[in-house]
Amino acid sequence: MKIYISILSIPILFLFSCQDLKKDEQITKLNAMQKTNDSIRKVFYQNKVDTLSNIIFKVKEVEFRIKHNYVSDTIDRKMADKINEYKTVRKKLKHAGKYFNQLERGTKEESETLKKLKTDIESSAGEIKKYDEYILFEKNKINQLNLILKEYISSQSESLISFNKLHAELTEFSLSLVRK
């Protein structure tokens, strides 16, 4: 009888030890994903420009002065190109603001979701067979957040470069139109 119990207990122990190995692997993946999520959050906060709304306001102000005070039928091609590039600054900065909001909300939600999933895995709650699917789903969300971060940094830096390059000249141009 003891042999029979010993023989039955070996597969059960083996099954639980395999589940523990898989659980450890899943928790390791979740910890790595949490680090990535935290890194994304850190990077986008480091690249946050507090004056985006102020810059957008300045661009709108210059655009308004040019639009309402320029009366000639023709404009120098170089100046027209500068004005068009300057207009894209406002549009790109609006997109950057949307990206920032997505990143702020997304990384916070993802952090909470990863913590809950980790707790579920540690306590073997929920559908154990679907843990790998859940982990893959969350990994895809983190990859998407990473792409949004890249787009945020790109659109913001391009806009700031254009703004810094053109603002003084176009402000002076728009003010000269008002003086006429």
Question: What does the pLDDT look like over 121-180, one tens digit per residue?
Answer: 998 888 888 899 999 999 999 999 999 999 999 999 999 999 999 999 999 999 998 876
Whether residue 157 lies inside any domain: the answer is yes
pLDDT band at residue 70 under the 50/70/90 scheme: confident
At 112 the pLDDT is 96
Whether residue 6 lies inside any domain: the answer is no
Whether residue 17 lies inside any domain: the answer is no
Is residue 47 pLDDT above 80, yes or no?
yes
At 14 the pLDDT is 45
Whether residue 12 lies inside any domain: the answer is no
Question: What does the pLDDT look like over 83-129, one tens digit per residue?
Answer: 999 999 999 998 888 999 999 999 999 999 999 999 999 988 888 88
How many distinct structural domains can be found in the chain?
1
Category of 125 on φ-ψ map: left (φ > 0), alpha (ψ -120 to 50) or beta = beta
Taking the CA atoms of residue 159, residue 161, residue 165 and residue 166 in that order, the dihedral angle to the nearest 10 degrees is 0
At 13 the pLDDT is 43
* CA 55 to the chain's CA centroid: 21
Whether residue 2 lies inside any domain: the answer is no
**In which residue are the tokens 């176009």 written?**
170
Which domain, by its residues, includes 125? 24-179
- Cβ atoms of 100 and 152 within 8 Å: the answer is yes
